[in-house]
């Protein structure tokens, strides 16, 4: 509805508004998404009718056993893989209608990525690595490095701007990767096992940084993780198994259990269950 104008919506317009993901504060929505690999007897279903909503202003954790479809799902949401069937809407765009250069441009402008392997360029300094997305978008090098340096300050690496990856610890390299993922101010941040290569302390530092620096009302964050030590960082925890979403838990409830000294117990089929607790 236009600001300052009172209008009578038709039934069709009301239905469209009700069905608009952006109007519901959704950064991404999947409906009946499937993904298969191979053909004939070798055909494998990685996703089997996934329905999922990812909200702005939240960190959504995807958890479950290896091979359950978590990485495939975020690859579909990020437009890196096309679904076999189903609907995927990201930031108000139907990804089926974005192809070729339009899809590449959409990803470059709107999405940020953090991976288990930091994927830093060894010949570049921390500031130059973090500036790469801005330079890829055509921003002048000096401006891009300045913006990257500001972000590195925010993640506690202001004294390592000129260090190369080989001079940084694993936790420091992951912080550079986080700055790189955020430097162009994406509206959706996708993280695939960002703490897997880190010890417990460094992993929590990285998750705390993601919560403090990345999560805000205009951005959604999706984190794939096997690390039960970081479940308390998610606003919502999506448990997957065999290519399906099995259940969605409120992260606030998970934090309440953890604050009282309980830990999630792994259940059959992978993931964890707040109703199955172990001290």
149 Cβ contact list (under 8 Å, min separation 6):
127, 130, 158, 161
8 Å CB contact between 231 and 246: no
Which parts of the chain have pLDDT scores under 50? 1-7, 9, 14-17, 253, 256-257, 260, 262-279
**200-61-279 Cα angle (round to 5):** 55
Confidence at residue 10, expressed as pLDDT on a 0 to 100 scale: 55
Q: What CA–CA distance (Å, rounded) separates 269 from 38?
A: 24
3-class DSSP state of 70: helix
Q: What CA–CA distance (Å, rounded) separates 258 from 261?
A: 5
Q: Given phi > 0 = left and psi -120 to 50 = alpha, else beta, which region is 269?
A: left
Instruction: Count Cβ atoms below 10 Å from residue 25 Cβ, excluding itself.
Output: 13
pLDDT (tens digit per residue) in 216-262: 899 999 999 988 888 889 999 999 999 999 999 987 545 544 554 54
- Spell out the domains of the chain, with CATH numbers in brackets: 25-272 (3.40.50.300)
Q: What CA–CA distance (Å, rounded) separates 161 from 254?
A: 37
**Closest to 231 (Cα-Cα) out of 208, 201, 251, 206:** 251
Confidence at residue 252, expressed as pLDDT on a 0 to 100 scale: 56
Q: What CA–CA distance (Å, rounded) separates 60 from 231?
A: 10
Q: Which helix (H) or strand (E) holds 254?
A: helix 251-259
Confidence at residue 78, expressed as pLDDT on a 0 to 100 scale: 95
């Amino acid at each position: 509805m236009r600001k300052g104008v009172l209008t009578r919506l038709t039934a069709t317009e009301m239905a469209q508004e009700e069905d608009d993901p952006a109007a519901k504060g959704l950064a991404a929505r999947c409906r009946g998404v499937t993904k298969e690999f191979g053909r004939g007897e070798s055909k494998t279903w990685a996703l089997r009718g996934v329905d999922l909503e990812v909200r702005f202003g939240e960190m959504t954790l995807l958890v479950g056993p290896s091979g359950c479809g978590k990485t495939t799902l975020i690859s579909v949401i990020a437009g890196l893989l096309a679904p076999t069937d189903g609907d995927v809407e990201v930031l108000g765009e139907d990804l089926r209608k974005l192809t070729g250069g339009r899809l590449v441009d959409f990803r470059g402008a709107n999405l940020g990525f953090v991976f288990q392997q930091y994927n830093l360029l060894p010949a570049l300094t921390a500031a130059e690595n973090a500036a790469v997305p801005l330079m890829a978008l055509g921003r002048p090098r000096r401006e891009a490095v300045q913006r990257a340096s500001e972000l590195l300050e925010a993640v506690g690496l202001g004294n390592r701007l000129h260090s190369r990856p080989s001079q940084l610890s694993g936790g420091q390299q992951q912080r550079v990767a986080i700055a790189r993922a955020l430097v162009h101010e994406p509206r959706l941040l996708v993280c695939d096992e960002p703490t897997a290569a880190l010890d417990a302390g460094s992993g929590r530092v990285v998750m705390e940084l993601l919560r403090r620096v990345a999560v805000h009302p205009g951005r959604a964050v999706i984190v794939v993780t096997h690390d039960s030590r970081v479940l308390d960082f998610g606003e919502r925890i999506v448990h997957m198994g065999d290519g399906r979403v099995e259940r969605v838990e409120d992260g606030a409830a998970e934090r309440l259990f953890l604050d009282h000294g309980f830990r999630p117990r792994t259940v059959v089929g992978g993931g964890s269950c707040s109703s199955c607790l172990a001290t």
